[in-house]
Structure 1
C-alpha cells in the first residue's frame, strides 16, 4: 500500500516535467529581428538649438490593425492579408517609422525635432498622420509604404494633409527581402516628407 502510494506520488510529480517539454506559451521567435535604418541622419556631435532653427514634433503615426503588430503583412488579394513567415520587426512599425522620420527631418529639413513635452515651452510645428500600409504587395511583388501626413505649422491651427507612397521591388516574399525592401521604401517616404516639411512656412 505504501509502495503503491509512493509510486503514485512520483507519477504525479513527473507529469508537469513531461508537459514542460511539450507545452509552449507563444510562438517560437524567429532567428533574427528586422529593423529599418535611416539613410539621412543627424551628424554626431552636431549641436541643435530651437532659438535659431525651426522646430517640429514628430508624432508616432496611427496604424490600422493589420500593421499594429511586429509581424510583416502581405496583401495577397484586394480582400486577403497574410503574414511573412519568420519575419518579425524589433518593435512595432509605427515607432520604427516615427524614429526614421525624426532623423530624416533633422538631417534634410535642418529642423530641431522636439518631444511633445518639450514643445510646450517652444512653439513648434506638428507632424502627425497615419501609416496606412507598411508591408508587401504579393500581386505586384513589391514592398509598399503609404503614409498620410498631417502638418500643423508652428503657431497655427490649420492642418495640411498629403499622402506619400513608395514602392520597391522584392525578389521573394520572405523575411530578408521584406526587411531590405521596406527599409528602402520607408526611407524614400521619409525623404519626401522631410522635403515637403522643409518647404512649409
Structure 2
C-alpha cells in the first residue's frame, strides 16, 4: 500500500508535461529569428568627428509592456494582445530599434552618434516605442515611436512617428519584412527631424 502512495504522483508527470513546461525539455526554437536592419548605412571607411557637447546620444527607448519580450506582439482589438506563432525576435524590439535608429542617423547625418548615455553633455534622442508588431484588425505591420529630443540648453521637444506596411499575411516572414520596412520609414523620418 505504501509503495502505491509513493509512486502515484510520479505517474502524473507525463500527463502534466503536455500542459505546462516542467523544464524537462527545451522549448521549440522558431525556424527563423526576426531582427531589424537599417536600409541605409555609412559607407565603409567613412569618418565622422566632433565634440562631446555635440555628440547625439541615442539610448534604448522605453517600450510598452507587450514589447518587453522577444515574442512578436499581435494586436487583436483595443483590449487584447496575443503573440505571433513561429516568430521570435533575436532580442527585445526596443533594443533592435535603437540600433536601427542610430545606424540611420549615422548614415544620414554629419554628427557623432553614441548608442547609450555616453554623450550626456550633448543632445539626447530618447523616446518610447509604443508599437512594433502586427495589427490583426488591419492586417498590417505597425511601428509607432514617440521621440523626445533634449538639447543641452534644457529645451525638450517631442514628436510622434508612425509607419505601417499594409496587406501583410500573419506569417513570420511577411510580418518580419513588414516590420523592418515600417521601422526604417520611422527611422528615416526621425533622422529628417533631427537633422
Verify same fold: TM over 0.5.
yes
Once residues 187 and 34 of structure 2 are traced to their aligned partners in structure 1, the CA distance between those partners, rounded to angstroms, is 18
Aligned-pair CA distance for 1:68: 0.5
Superposed, 1:151-166 pairs within 5 Å as 151-153=149-151, 155-166=152-163
1:182 to 2:179 alignment? yes
Q: Deviations over 1:120-152 (max 9, x none)?
A: 5xx321001000010011111110000000001
1:192 to 2:195 alignment? no
Which residue does the alignment assign to 2:39? 39
SS of equivalent residue, structure 1 residue 119 = coil
Aligned-pair CA distance for 1:112: 0.9
Once residues 119 and 186 of structure 2 are traced to their aligned partners in structure 1, the CA distance between those partners, rounded to angstroms, is 25
Change (3 A) 1:116 1:30: closer
Change (3 A) 1:74 1:115: closer
Which residue does the alignment assign to 2:76? 76
Change (3 A) 1:175 1:158: same
- Contact 2:102/2:115 (CA < 8 Å) preserved in 1? no
Once residues 197 and 53 of structure 1 are traced to their aligned partners in structure 2, the CA distance between those partners, rounded to angstroms, is 16
Which residue does the alignment assign to 2:134? 136
1:148 to 2:146 alignment? yes
Aligned length: 179
Change (3 A) 1:118 1:77: closer
Which residue does the alignment assign to 2:108? 108
Which residue does the alignment assign to 1:127? 125
TM-score by length of 1: 0.81
Aligned-pair CA distance for 1:110: 2.1
Q: Which has the larger radius of gyration?
A: 1
Change (3 A) 1:115 1:74: closer
Which residue does the alignment assign to 2:57? 57
SS of equivalent residue, structure 1 residue 133 = strand
Which residue does the alignment assign to 1:6? none
Unpaired runs of at least 5, structure 2:
1-6
1:167 to 2:164 alignment? yes
Aligned-pair CA distance for 1:179: 0.4
Q: Deviations over 1:78-104 (max 9, x none)?
A: 111111101000111011000000011
CA RMSD of aligned residues (A): 2.3
Which residue does the alignment assign to 2:3? none
TM-score by length of 2: 0.84
